[in-house]
Amino acid sequence: MTRIIWRLRCAVRDQASATLEQFTESGGERLGNDRGQTTAEYALVLLGAAGIALLLLGWATQSGAIGTLFDAVLGGVVGKVK
């Protein structure tokens, strides 16, 4: 999961860098202030992570994986107590 978030963050950063480079090469003035850029990148990463989490949660709920995991954990705890 961390790799996906890191790759998404790098992709966003690279795209922003390429866009800025095109802007400066086309004769535009260099942007003087990048305040908020990191905040925007993290917001996009969080949206991507939330989307993946929702997909994973939907799959786990429909397939019964959550119930199976819960039963296995409780079975393991009860087995160690006995």
Rounded Cα distance between 50 and 74, Å, is: 28
- Residue 53: what pLDDT? 95
Q: Write the pLDDT tens digit of every residue in 14-60.
A: 777 766 666 666 555 555 667 778 888 999 999 999 999 999 989 88
pLDDT at 9 over 80: no
> Which H or E run contains 62?
helix 37-63
Residues of the chain by 3-state class (helix, strand, coil), percent to 5: 85, 0, 15
The residue extents of the domains of the chain are: 2-81
Rounded Cα distance between 1 and 76, Å, is: 26
- Residue 77: what pLDDT? 93
- Residue 81: what pLDDT? 86
One-letter amino acid for residue 27 of the chain: G
- Residue 52: what pLDDT? 96
CA 41 remoteness from chain centre: 11
- Residue 31: what pLDDT? 55
